[in-house]
Chains A and B, each alone.
Chain A
Amino acid sequence: MVKLEDSYVPLSQLPEWSDVTPIPQDDGPHPVAPIAYTQEYAEAMDYLRAVMKARELSSRALELTEEIVWLNAGHYTAWAYRLDILKHLNVDLYSELDFLSEFAEVNPKTYQLWHHRQEIVKLLNDPSREHDFIAKLLATDSKNFHAWSYRQWVVTQFNQWDGELPYVAQLIDEDVRNNSAWNQRYFVLTRGSTQDLDRDTLRREIDYCLEKMALAPNNECPFAYCRGLLKKFGTHDDWLLIRAQLRALGGVANAGDVAAARSQYAWGLLLDTEEHLIREATEEEGLTARRAEVRRVRTNFRV
């Protein structure tokens, strides 16, 4: 393991590198926007050029890639080369997972880290450490885009749907405004947009939304989630239900002065609900009356 705090010993002074002639970077005579690299990085890159040119898939080259990604986390070429070496050397890939876990603590938002981890887990065909690995990072940043995206891959690839809903519910309990968790909830319930919701599940989700809406009416998440579910899976009765509930929620219809009445999200969803019902309506059901209702809601919405 390369320790950054160790005093820097140039590779050129190490006997194990004595047979390699480093290849310096050639930016040309008057480059635009050159970067003043640290000596450590510049030298490591000179050696990387040399070993890559020779297609050397060795353990010292593996160590070199590790040094480079510690110095420059987004170095996609070093990551890709590292993967080639790992495949070739047949080393213990679980130790690679350990390295990646440590690396992720410092660089949780590097694209390459996540992609590399995915490739390693594919090779191992073992997701057993992934749940904890991701959960630990989400505990630090509960909206880490890469972590959630990767989590979806793990869940889908290894059919780990069980347990995901309680986990997501827990994160929503911790911060009801965590939209990444809400997005994951939709992902879990629809099994990655491959599955319909049965009636009971849909009603349960609507109730869940209503509870969270009441908790913090100016939080967009449950309104967007509810709208998404209804548009995809809702029946006429479901839309009627949500209309009634939204009106009840803090007396929206009467524009009372409670928090819910000031919620632009409550008004927005109510407006969409009325518009949906209009599109469904026939003349017998009183289309004209419905239109008047939409005008009324929209006027309130603008105010």
Chain B
Amino acid sequence: MPPYTPDDGLSTSTSRQQRVVEEDIQQLLDHHLAKHPNGFEGLTLNREAHIKFIEKTLRGLGSNSQGLDPGRPWLFYWPLNSLALMDVEIADDLKTRTVATLARLQRPEGGYGGPDQLPHLAATYAAVLSLAIVGTPEAFASIDRMKQPDGSFTAHRGGEVDVRGSYCAIVIATLLNLLTPELTANVSTFIARCQTYEGGIGSRPNVEAHSGYAYCGLATLAILNSLDVLDIPALLHWSAGRQMTLEGGFNGRTNKLVDGCYSFWAGATFPLLESAVRRSWSHHRPLDPKFEMFLEDDMGYLYDRRRLQEYILGCCQATHGGLRDKPEKFPDPYHTCYVLAGLAASQHRLREDAAITTTTTENSKGPMEADSDVPPTLADLLSWTVDVVDECVLGPRKDNLLRALHPIYAIPFNRVTAVFRYFYGDDQVQACL
């Protein structure tokens, strides 16, 4: 095991908190190593317990979850996505009831919100993804596409503006075939302004770089074919730094503590970054020699997948089901979803198809010339492919391997294709595959 992070003989609040977590995790990982003859290869995903935990939340939540009332659609997305990633068949009855319950959270003025509350971009994102996971014609038909939020990207009427809003709006519009030049105009310029001196992306210009916002910004730019507005080498450097040396999991900001949910927010940026590097390669721009090694490597990505999986399987599984932030914390639906999503993303090689990439780069823009954002073609949107590489899966595949997760839409790949078929037309989709 790597040594504890040195405090260089200068103890501060940050180094003390970090040390407590490191000792906790070291102890747990040592315990696993002592217990399993195969070492970390013996770590398994406790599916049955997690499924039970999730099914319990679908039946109902206690008053301690009252704070989630305004974000009620998330209470569908988190558990349904967790089940879909574990390849659990969603019962017809649950599908029907999900469509019916979400229909009541749809607002007459467009979008979704908490019960009888204003429509909210994040709630709408969660509702649309939930219905995509359900995947029935009734689910798709229940979405009133004509009344989606406009391009202002405040979270709700009179609400706050940040990169999260950009991501939710663009994802919703992309899945539902609602992208227009008006909607995409200036989106990438705003995101580019949120990249900080560290290389990561903050919620707004000048705000500290944060994994959650970096993911949202990068995924949005990936949809819009505008990754080149960012300083990609700087973002790559910062992103690689989010993986913790001892813990194996990711943190969200420099010198903050590890948290299982960043397995997704930070982990899922790597396939997007790889795509950005490939694009710049096919652009015949000088390629930074640092990247050659990682593009040729079969494992791909500039993070250690196996160490992340050690953290997830060894430290994030609660004994009685559900997944968590770190060992001292309780599991919840949010962490269950995003820890599993991070695990799924780390188990597969996700990449944009090279042929498609070449055609798009002919039209692509130079750096910082993105005010004329144009909506991407369907072929662009369908250009992601999946491989399972054995070395990417820690432990027994039959227990641990999850369904491949789409790095942009944060639901399994097969669900994404079904949504596109419904909203763009079977023929159109077929022509691109």
Contact surface of A with B, Cβ cutoff 8 Å: 23, 25-38, 41, 45, 49, 52, 71-77, 80, 83, 111-112, 114-115, 119, 142-143, 145, 148-149, 152, 174-180, 183, 186-187, 192-193, 215-221, 224-225, 227-229, 231-232, 259, 262, 268
| A177 contacts B208, C-beta separation under 8 Å | no
Residue of A nearest to B156 (CB): A76
Q: Report if B377 contacts A (CB, 8 A).
A: no
Scan residues 126-170 of chain B and give those whose CB is less than 8 A from a CB of chain A.
155-160
> Which one of B72, B117, B197 has the highest number of Cβ atoms from chain A below 10 Å of its Cβ?
B197
Q: Report if B256 contacts A (CB, 8 A).
A: yes
- The main secondary structure of chain A at its interface with chain B is helix
Contact surface of B with A, Cβ cutoff 8 Å: 5-10, 12-15, 57-63, 65-72, 75-76, 79, 94, 97-98, 100-101, 104, 113-118, 120, 155-160, 193, 196-199, 202-210, 234, 237-238, 241, 253-256
| B159 contacts A259, C-beta separation under 8 Å | no
Distance between A262 CB and nearest chain B CB, rounded to angstroms: 7
| A179 contacts B253, C-beta separation under 8 Å | yes
| A38 contacts B253, C-beta separation under 8 Å | no
Distance between B20 CB and nearest chain A CB, rounded to angstroms: 14
| A33 contacts B196, C-beta separation under 8 Å | no
Known: A41-B69, A75-B69. 18 other contacts (CB 8 A): A33-B79, A35-B75, A41-B63, A76-B70, A77-B70, A119-B158, A152-B206, A152-B207, A174-B13, A179-B255, A186-B196, A186-B197, A192-B206, A216-B7, A218-B8, A219-B255, A232-B197, A262-B6
Distance between B311 CB and nearest chain A CB, rounded to angstroms: 19
- The main secondary structure of chain B at its interface with chain A is loop
7 cross-chain CB contacts under 8 A:
A27-B101, A72-B67, A76-B155, A77-B114, A179-B208, A193-B193, A232-B197
Residues on A with beta carbons closer than 8 Å to the beta carbon of B72: 33, 35
Residues on A with beta carbons closer than 8 Å to the beta carbon of B100: 28-31
Known A31-B97, A218-B6, A218-B8; contact A73-B67, beta-carbon cutoff 8 A? yes
- In the bound complex, how far is the Cα of B12 from the Cα of A30, in angstroms? 52
Q: Among A49, A75, A83, A193, which residue has its beta carbon within 8 angstroms of that of B205? A: A193
- In the bound complex, how far is the Cα of B156 from the Cα of A183, in angstroms? 28
> Which one of A25, A114, A183 has the highest number of Cβ atoms from chain B below 10 Å of its Cβ?
A183
- In the bound complex, how far is the Cα of B15 from the Cα of A37, in angstroms? 40
User: Which 3 residue pairs are nearest across A and B when measured between Cβ atoms?
Assistant: A228-B197, A177-B14, A77-B117
- In the bound complex, how far is the Cα of B62 from the Cα of A18, in angstroms? 30
Distance between B275 CB and nearest chain A CB, rounded to angstroms: 23
| A28 contacts B69, C-beta separation under 8 Å | no
Distance between A177 CB and nearest chain B CB, rounded to angstroms: 4
Residues on B with beta carbons closer than 8 Å to the beta carbon of A219: 8, 255
Distance between A162 CB and nearest chain B CB, rounded to angstroms: 18
| B70 contacts A35, C-beta separation under 8 Å | no
| B159 contacts A80, C-beta separation under 8 Å | yes
Known A76-B118, A148-B207; contact A33-B10, beta-carbon cutoff 8 A? no
Residues on B with beta carbons closer than 8 Å to the beta carbon of A215: 8, 10
Residues on B with beta carbons closer than 8 Å to the beta carbon of A75: 69-70, 114, 117
Known A32-B58, A149-B204; contact A72-B69, beta-carbon cutoff 8 A? yes
Known A25-B116, A32-B58, A35-B63; contact A228-B198, beta-carbon cutoff 8 A? yes
Known A177-B255, A215-B10, A221-B255; contact A33-B58, beta-carbon cutoff 8 A? yes
Residues on B with beta carbons closer than 8 Å to the beta carbon of A33: 57-61, 72, 75-76, 79, 101
Q: Among B10, B206, B237, which residue has its beta carbon within 8 angstroms of that of A187? A: B206
| A115 contacts B205, C-beta separation under 8 Å | no
Residues on A with beta carbons closer than 8 Å to the beta carbon of B58: 32-33
- In the bound complex, how far is the Cα of B58 from the Cα of A217, in angstroms? 49
- In the bound complex, how far is the Cα of B254 from the Cα of A215, in angstroms? 18
| A111 contacts B256, C-beta separation under 8 Å | no
- In the bound complex, how far is the Cα of B59 from the Cα of A28, in angstroms? 14
- In the bound complex, how far is the Cα of B142 from the Cα of A28, in angstroms? 15
Distance between B410 CB and nearest chain A CB, rounded to angstroms: 19
Distance between B296 CB and nearest chain A CB, rounded to angstroms: 16
Residues on A with beta carbons closer than 8 Å to the beta carbon of B6: 218, 259, 262
Residue of A nearest to B207 (CB): A149
- In the bound complex, how far is the Cα of B120 from the Cα of A223, in angstroms? 39
- In the bound complex, how far is the Cα of B13 from the Cα of A112, in angstroms? 28
| A220 contacts B63, C-beta separation under 8 Å | no
Distance between B17 CB and nearest chain A CB, rounded to angstroms: 10
Residues on B with beta carbons closer than 8 Å to the beta carbon of A174: 12-13
| B70 contacts A34, C-beta separation under 8 Å | no
Residues on B with beta carbons closer than 8 Å to the beta carbon of A152: 206-207
Residues on B with beta carbons closer than 8 Å to the beta carbon of A232: 197
Distance between A43 CB and nearest chain B CB, rounded to angstroms: 13
| A176 contacts B12, C-beta separation under 8 Å | yes
| B62 contacts A176, C-beta separation under 8 Å | no
